[in-house]
Amino acid sequence: MMKKPVVHITNFNLKFQDKYVLKDLCWTINIGENWLLSGESGNGKTSLVKAIANLIPNYGTVEINFNPASHLAGVVHYVANWYQFKDLEGQSNFYYQQRYNKQVASTTNSVGSELRHFGQQNQLKPDTLNPILAALDFENLLAATLIELSSGEHKKLQLIKAIWLKPQLLILDLPYNGLDSASRRNLNLLLDHLVEDGTQLILISNETEMPSSINRFAKIESGKLVETAEMQHLADLFTEVEKPLPAFFGKKQWPSVKSHLIKMIDVNVSYGDKKVLKNINWEVKAGEKWALQGPNGSGKSTLLSLICADHPQAFANNFYLFGNLRGSGESIWEIKERIGLISPELHWYFDPSATVWQSIVSGFYDSSGLFCEPGYTKRLQADELIYFFGLDDYKNTLMSQLPLGKQRLALLGRTIIKNPELLILDEPCQGLDQQQTFHFNKLIDELCKNGTTLIYVGHFESQLPDCIEKRIVLENGEVQAIENILETVSNA
């Protein structure tokens, strides 16, 4: 007797703005199959797997068949790319700087309490959690509150729960976003062990890294699911598309600054006995292009928060920004006016009720959403960026209604619209497909030709712009290396 497939989808349809994204899609997942699903951002991948997990209404037939004889949990567990957490009163209206305010950090649960609650809810054995925590280097974070975690640490917390649960079907949406290289390798080993124990996987990813247990590949094309061979699957994703740079970017040349743009002298940040940054010495001169790297939890986000005037401990340190000692009279908004920032945390706390156009224009005012009427020139620049990023059809769409990759493109437009003196790009390509990543990094290369100073955080070496010339590496809050990348490459 033939066994039923684990997942059987027939005639699945999905519309967005009266246009079909998925049309009469069919997909059968048999026992022993572990799938990697890829394709362009916004083509319906996430909606499809959410339907399998019964998280959105089904517009078609989605049949799930669990094995009643299995010792694994008879559930579909979906790990979203986007982590949503609430405070102790069940609210999620956090603000961006709240993570660095220790007086309000206690409004969210601790990591340990969150995991204990999850374990009790799903009747999991506490002793089976420890090896997972060790593999993802998470044991030292049990006392931290949820709002204190970085984006990479939030991703790890999601993954730890999923692996501890051991579901019969595990769906991971962009699981490698925000993870350092060691964590990605260990995650793949953990997933392979899960598969050996009977779990089946569906991964949404455009990365070449994947568990060795992945044995089926597919992409979505013209609303249908198309199975591919591995090499074809990776090669077909990328086609180069060139667009002219919006004209207003060429109109500003930053003046030559002889002194440092950023200078940190023995900078420290600590919360009680916990030292987050330890004796940081770092100088960034005007026009330099830096990569900021290090493992999850190494202090990168805290370092950037000092530069962006979001961290109150900046005033307690010997720290110069744009040639001025912090706390010597400049306002937070005078600093922010000269900086363009994007980060996963900024995206988390951004106003989801703003439209794409409003979100991009808000970059002129460093606000989360738009609260004033912009002038003609600002409106024109926003329209140019919307065309450049291919967001014409979404101009008046709410951010909350967009696929994650499209949201990120809109926020990238917001970051660069004022052509800032200092660009800080913290994992800017999370959620983008390979073509969008290539397109964005080419834009950064062009922007930086006019003297813009750049700090770029990225865990994937392949996703760095070509213009990067220097690197600072943090580990456990300390500087492990400062090096010239160009010299490293030429001597390799």
Can you tell me the distance from the alpha carbon of 264 to that of 319, in angstroms, rounded to the nearest whole number?
A: 5
How much is the pTM?
Answer: 0.80
**How far is CA 207 from each of CA 115, 293, 427, rounded to the nearest angstrom?**
29, 19, 15
- Confirm if 303 and 145 have CB atoms less than 8 A apart: no
- Supply the pLDDT for residue 97: 45
Tell me how far the alpha carbon of residue 409 is from its chain's centroid.
12
- Supply the pLDDT for residue 384: 92
- Supply the pLDDT for residue 2: 46
Q: Please, which residues have CB within 8 angstroms of residue 106's CB and are 6 or more apart in sequence? A: 145
Can you tell me the distance from the alpha carbon of 416 to that of 448, in angstroms, rounded to the nearest whole number?
A: 11
Q: Please, which residues have CB within 8 angstroms of residue 156's CB and are 6 or more apart in sequence? A: 136, 138, 179, 183, 296
Q: Which of 471, 470, 412 is nearest to 442 (CA)?
A: 412
Can you tell me the distance from the alpha carbon of 174 to that of 177, in angstroms, rounded to the nearest whole number?
A: 6
Can you tell me the distance from the alpha carbon of 262 to that of 111, in angstroms, rounded to the nearest whole number?
A: 34
- Supply the pLDDT for residue 448: 83
CATH class of residue range 247-490: alpha beta
Q: Which CATH number fits domain 7-235: 3.30.420.40, 3.40.50.300, 3.90.1150.220, 3.40.1010.20?
A: 3.40.50.300
- Supply the pLDDT for residue 169: 98
Domain ranges for the chain: 7-235, 247-490
**Which residues of the chain have a pLDDT value below 50?**
1-2, 87-98, 231, 233-238, 489-492
Beta bridge partners of 299: none
Q: Element (H or E) spanning 404, and its range?
A: helix 404-416
Can you tell me the distance from the alpha carbon of 145 to that of 142, in angstroms, rounded to the nearest whole number?
A: 8
- Supply the pLDDT for residue 343: 85
